[in-house]
Amino acid sequence: MRIPDWKPSEQLSDVTVDDVEFRSLYTKTRYVVDTADGWSLVISRYRPRPQPFAQPLLGETMLLVHGFSQNRHAWTSGQFVKNLLFFGMDIHILELRGHGKSSIALQKERAQRFGRQLPPDLDYGWDIDSYFLYDLPAAVSGVKRITRREKIFFCGHSMGGMLGYGYAGIHDDFEGLITIGAPGDLGAGFALLRLLALAGPVITTSVDATFGAINLERRGARLLQRGAAAALGRVKKDWGEAIAPRGELRTLEYKYVPIDSLLKIIESQLAHAEQSPLYRRVAERLFWLSNAQRVRSDDIRWLLREGGEREPRKVVNQFARWIRRGELVCYRTGYDFKRGFSKIKVPMAIIFGDLDPLASVRSTRSVYRAAQSEYLLWRPVKGNSHIELTMGHDIRQICYDIKNLVEYARSHRHKPPSLPRRGAH
């Protein structure tokens, strides 16, 4: 459908999101926010353009935060952002430290340009507490400053949603909170994840021992190489330099998990599998966090190829510790996310897939029961697992849930709060 020429006083009533080109809905910019501990984070803004059809949420501001080992493409691989822009929302996508545009290379470039020190945890030395204590507050403050809003809407996927739970329990910056695939009890009902968490210390020790053995072997080989170079160097100098070039031997360390490389390998396997009837079976085995029937293969392959990031060892270890102890705690301050659930009073939507082993009825139930939100949606999306919630065939349904929450919050901005919820039904 071609949208005809229109006057600002006119509105079309029969236009759907499928009728509109994505690029016609927004003006894209990027801006940088600085954290209190020295990181520069990039936020991609999709500012809505006025359209010849009704935009019920025009100008309402929402911050999107991705999950574990992801970047901005978690939101843009499918039509999630497009659907929210169709309603007129002003979208701001944060990339956490070390992810996407908020890269280690950016920190070095800005340090050189502005003559400042590099962040002390630059070499994959950060943990989940870093995201919670520094990245999220800097992003929220930055979005509020750019848009001149006192409060904003927040939507987080997976780990991003878990950070949102914690933040909403102690801050008053959110006008509404949406979490997608974000557990409140990580590992609840997911035996495999709990088993991996319990085995975490053993695996880490084994990896450290492996790297130590490799380093010892490399040092031994280097000593032999230098000995041979010294002997040959007495005969001819350039022979010795060719055998043992000058320079220090770099020590191998386990600093991060190369999720980006792993996802690219999976993507290449899916590309081969698509050429045969075995595609669906291979997809289910290689990528069990996604239901291949509820997402386009092109979209999932793009996400695997472009949307993966390395995740530091400390982040993985903190997740494992949370699972083993059944807790969600900021260890630097002692703040317990779970105790903060009862302090969440803003309109909230907890959305998850009914096939998702990470965020399920069991692992999200505690948030729903504890929250004191007057508007509280707790809903599984049928046929969905973890990944396709932000890019699959049910995006329109999910975005309408978000629209309903935003419209409710907007209509109650100037009304006094009601009595707190007494229980869940």
| Among the ranges given (84-88, 145-149, 276-280), the one the predictor scored with the smallest mean pLDDT | 276-280
In the DSSP assignment, the letter for residue 135 is: I
pLDDT at 245: 58
Strand stretches in 95-183, DSSP E = 152-157, 174-180
The string of pLDDT tens digits covering residues 314-326 is: 999 999 999 999 9
Residues in contact with 346: Cβ distance below 8 Å, sequence separation at least 6, in sequence order: 168, 174, 175, 176, 177, 373, 409
Cα gap 391→95, rounded to integer Å: 18
* Percentage of the chain exceeding pLDDT 90: 66
The string of pLDDT tens digits covering residues 77-115 is: 999 999 999 999 999 999 999 999 999 999 999 999 999
Enumerate the β-bridge partners of residue 329: 336
pLDDT at 289: 77
pLDDT at 380: 97
pLDDT at 424: 41
The predicted model scores a pTM of 0.86
Report yes or no: 358 and 193 within 8 Å, Cβ to Cβ: yes
Structure tokens at 319: 């997740």
Amino acid, single-letter form, for residue 303: L
pLDDT confidence band for 165 (50 / 70 / 90): very high
What average pLDDT does the chain have? 86
Enumerate the β-bridge partners of residue 62: 91, 153
Specify the DSSP element, H or E, that contains 312: strand 311-312
pLDDT at 146: 98
**Between 288 and 63, where is the model more confident?**
63
pLDDT at 214: 46
Cα gap 338→395, rounded to integer Å: 29
pLDDT at 279: 56
Residue 44 pLDDT > 80, yes or no?
yes
Residue 285 pLDDT > 80, yes or no?
no
The string of pLDDT tens digits covering residues 205-264 is: 544 555 454 455 555 555 665 665 565 555 555 544 444 456 655 655 689 999 999 888
For residue 360, how far is the Cα from the chain centroid? 18
Residue 398 pLDDT > 50, yes or no?
yes
For residue 92, how far is the Cα from the chain centroid? 13
pLDDT at 287: 55
Q: How many CB atoms lie within 10 A of CB 195?
A: 12
Structure tokens at 332: 């630097």
* Percentage of the chain exceeding pLDDT 70: 78
pLDDT confidence band for 282 (50 / 70 / 90): low
The string of pLDDT tens digits covering residues 167-186 is: 999 999 999 999 999 999 99
pLDDT at 14: 83
Side-chain-facing half-sphere of 288: CA atoms under 13 Å? 5
Torsion sign (Cα): 184, 188, 193, 197: positive
| Among the ranges given (116-120, 127-131, 288-292, 322-326), the one the predictor scored with the smallest mean pLDDT | 288-292
Residue 9 pLDDT > 50, yes or no?
no
pLDDT at 284: 58
Side-chain-facing half-sphere of 207: CA atoms under 13 Å? 13
pLDDT at 291: 81
pLDDT at 79: 94
Report yes or no: 361 and 388 within 8 Å, Cβ to Cβ: no
pLDDT at 1: 45
Residue 6 pLDDT > 50, yes or no?
no
Question: To which residue do tokens 């803003």 refer?
Answer: 346
pLDDT confidence band for 293 (50 / 70 / 90): confident
Q: How many CB atoms lie within 10 A of CB 379?
A: 15
Cα gap 300→294, rounded to integer Å: 10
